[in-house]
């Protein structure tokens, strides 16, 4: 990306990162990019059901972010800004596809269900980020099992084969790891931040109780 200033020390506390980010630091931009690119792409892909187009939408959002960097006040501000941008572009994408296909079903979906769908996907995406952080705190073997379980969508038998463990051993580790996540306070944290309870219930049920 042209126009970036020489790299400055950006990895550290949030205040130092955001200052460097506003000044055009390539390293600070990389910190934000590395943190947000995967969840944003996941979020958009679940709305438009196209990985390639989701990647294009997210790339365009980061391009816009760079040119709007001077107005960013915090990392949380950047995150909220990015989600608004990709959300709006995802809606535009769906509307364009609808016009191209002239699908009455898609028109009805856009008119009645898209807002609820997008909000649920946004909550689920960000909560998955928090789950990832909690997984990183687990012992190595349980961490690996939950990564395969959550992010690769592997079942117990498949994980057992990959890790060369018995299915019962995998099940025992997975049960204890999920118990640790349930005790981590994720639900309490999200309720304190004002996220609607029904969104938390749907998401936690999907990821922790299935």
The secondary structure of residue 30, as a DSSP letter, is H
Task: Please name the helix (run of DSSP H) or strand (run of DSSP E) that holds residue 205, with its range, or none.
Answer: helix 197-208
Which pLDDT value is given to residue 200?
Answer: 44
Q: Provide the pLDDT for residue 13.
A: 81
Q: What is the pLDDT of residues 57-85, one digit of tens each?
A: 999 999 999 999 999 988 889 988 998 89
pLDDT at residue number 146 = 80
CA–CA distance, 34 with 185 (Å, rounded to integer): 25
pLDDT score for 190: 45
The reported pLDDT for the residue numbered 39 is 86
Helix (H, G, I), strand (E, B) or coil at 5: strand
What does the pLDDT read at residue 166? 92
Tokens 């769908």 belong to: 117
pLDDT of residue 60: 93
Q: What is the pLDDT of residue 137?
A: 84
Read off the tokens for 37: 């690119």
> Look-up: residue for tokens 């789950």?
131
Check residue 134 and give its pLDDT: 79
Task: Give CA 151 to chain center in angstroms.
Answer: 11
Distance CA 68, CA 85 (A): 12
- Residue 109, beta-bridge partner list: none
**Low-confidence stretches of the chain (pLDDT beneath 50):** 1-12, 188-202, 204-210
User: How many helices and strands in the chain, by DSSP H and E?
Assistant: 11, 0
**Pick from 58, 53, 12, 16: nearest CA to 36:** 58
Q: How high is the pLDDT of residue 1?
A: 39
Q: Which two tokens stand for residue 8?
A: 């400055």
Query: What per-residue confidence (pLDDT) applies to 8?
Result: 42
């Amino acid at each position: 990306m042209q126009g970036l200033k020489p790299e400055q020390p950006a990895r550290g506390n949030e205040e130092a990162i955001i200052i460097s980010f506003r000044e055009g630091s390539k390293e600070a931009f990389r910190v934000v990019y590395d943190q947000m690119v995967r969840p944003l792409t996941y979020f958009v892909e679940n709305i438009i059901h196209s990985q390639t187009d989701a990647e294009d939408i997210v790339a365009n959002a980061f391009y816009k972010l760079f040119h709007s960097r001077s107005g960013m006040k915090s990392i949380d501000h950047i995150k909220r800004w990015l989600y608004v941008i990709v959300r709006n572009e995802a809606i535009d994408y769906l509307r364009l596809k609808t016009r191209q296909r002239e699908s009455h079903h898609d028109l009805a979906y856009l008119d009645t269900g898209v807002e609820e769908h997008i909000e649920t996907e946004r909550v689920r995406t960000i909560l998955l980020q928090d789950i990832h952080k909690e997984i990183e705190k687990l012992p190595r073997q349980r961490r690996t099992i939950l990564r395969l379980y959550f992010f690769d969508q592997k079942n117990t038998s498949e994980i057992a084969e990959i890790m060369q463990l018995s299915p019962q051993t995998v099940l025992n580790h997975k049960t204890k790891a999920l118990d640790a996540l349930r005790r981590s306070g994720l639900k309490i944290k999200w309720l304190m931040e004002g996220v609607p309870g029904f969104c938390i219930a749907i998401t936690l049920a999907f990821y922790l109780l299935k």
